[in-house]
Amino acid sequence: MANNTAPGHSSSSDQARDELFSHILRCGVLEAEPEHQKEWIDDTMQYLADRYLDLSTEDLANVRVLGERYCQPVVNRAPAESVSA
Protein backbone atom coordinates (compact mmCIF):
# COMPACT_ATOMS: atom_id res chain seq x y z
CA MET A 1 0.00 0.00 0.00
CA ALA A 2 2.08 2.86 -1.26
CA ASN A 3 1.16 6.31 -0.09
CA ASN A 4 0.94 8.47 -3.21
CA THR A 5 -0.97 11.35 -1.64
CA ALA A 6 0.11 14.84 -0.73
CA PRO A 7 1.17 15.46 2.87
CA GLY A 8 -1.84 16.01 5.09
CA HIS A 9 -4.13 13.93 2.87
CA SER A 10 -4.74 10.28 3.54
CA SER A 11 -5.32 7.70 0.86
CA SER A 12 -8.49 5.68 0.56
CA SER A 13 -6.57 2.67 1.89
CA ASP A 14 -5.55 4.63 4.98
CA GLN A 15 -9.10 5.87 5.48
CA ALA A 16 -10.55 2.36 5.07
CA ARG A 17 -7.98 0.97 7.52
CA ASP A 18 -8.75 3.66 10.08
CA GLU A 19 -12.47 3.13 9.67
CA LEU A 20 -12.07 -0.63 10.12
CA PHE A 21 -10.02 -0.14 13.30
CA SER A 22 -12.63 2.29 14.62
CA HIS A 23 -15.44 -0.18 13.94
CA ILE A 24 -13.48 -2.99 15.61
CA LEU A 25 -13.12 -0.92 18.79
CA ARG A 26 -16.70 0.37 18.84
CA CYS A 27 -18.31 -2.99 18.13
CA GLY A 28 -16.37 -5.02 20.72
CA VAL A 29 -14.89 -7.36 18.12
CA LEU A 30 -11.74 -7.86 20.20
CA GLU A 31 -13.75 -9.73 22.85
CA ALA A 32 -15.62 -11.91 20.32
CA GLU A 33 -14.87 -15.55 19.57
CA PRO A 34 -12.62 -16.08 16.51
CA GLU A 35 -15.47 -17.45 14.34
CA HIS A 36 -17.60 -14.39 15.17
CA GLN A 37 -14.65 -12.11 14.42
CA LYS A 38 -14.29 -13.69 10.98
CA GLU A 39 -17.99 -13.30 10.25
CA TRP A 40 -17.91 -9.69 11.43
CA ILE A 41 -14.83 -8.88 9.33
CA ASP A 42 -16.42 -10.53 6.27
CA ASP A 43 -19.48 -8.29 6.63
CA THR A 44 -17.46 -5.16 7.39
CA MET A 45 -15.08 -5.70 4.47
CA GLN A 46 -18.10 -5.92 2.15
CA TYR A 47 -19.30 -2.62 3.58
CA LEU A 48 -15.86 -1.04 3.06
CA ALA A 49 -15.67 -2.37 -0.52
CA ASP A 50 -19.00 -0.70 -1.25
CA ARG A 51 -17.93 2.52 0.48
CA TYR A 52 -14.43 2.83 -1.03
CA LEU A 53 -15.04 2.01 -4.69
CA ASP A 54 -11.57 3.18 -5.72
CA LEU A 55 -9.82 0.44 -3.71
CA SER A 56 -8.53 -2.53 -5.66
CA THR A 57 -9.02 -6.12 -4.56
CA GLU A 58 -5.40 -6.08 -3.39
CA ASP A 59 -5.93 -2.89 -1.35
CA LEU A 60 -8.99 -4.42 0.33
CA ALA A 61 -7.06 -7.62 1.04
CA ASN A 62 -4.29 -5.57 2.69
CA VAL A 63 -6.82 -3.68 4.83
CA ARG A 64 -8.40 -6.99 5.84
CA VAL A 65 -5.03 -8.45 6.89
CA LEU A 66 -4.38 -5.39 9.06
CA GLY A 67 -7.82 -5.75 10.66
CA GLU A 68 -7.31 -9.45 11.35
CA ARG A 69 -3.91 -8.76 12.91
CA TYR A 70 -5.43 -5.97 15.00
CA CYS A 71 -7.93 -8.47 16.43
CA GLN A 72 -5.27 -11.00 17.44
CA PRO A 73 -4.43 -11.16 21.13
CA VAL A 74 -1.14 -9.77 22.30
CA VAL A 75 1.38 -12.51 22.98
CA ASN A 76 2.82 -12.20 26.47
CA ARG A 77 6.40 -13.23 26.92
CA ALA A 78 7.07 -15.67 29.70
CA PRO A 79 9.22 -14.11 32.41
CA ALA A 80 12.89 -14.99 32.04
CA GLU A 81 14.03 -17.51 34.58
CA SER A 82 16.54 -16.28 37.09
CA VAL A 83 19.97 -17.77 36.76
CA SER A 84 21.42 -18.82 40.11
CA ALA A 85 25.05 -18.05 40.61
Question: What's this model's pTM, rounded to 2 decimal places?
Answer: 0.73
Local confidence band at 6 (pLDDT 50, 70, 90 cut-offs): very low
What's at 30, amino acid-wise? L
Domain segments of the chain as ranges: 12-71
Predicted confidence (pLDDT) per residue in 17-71, tens digit: 999 999 999 998 888 888 999 999 999 999 999 999 999 999 999 999 999 999 8
The residue with greater pLDDT, 16 or 74, is 16
Q: What is the CA radius of gyration of the chain?
A: 17
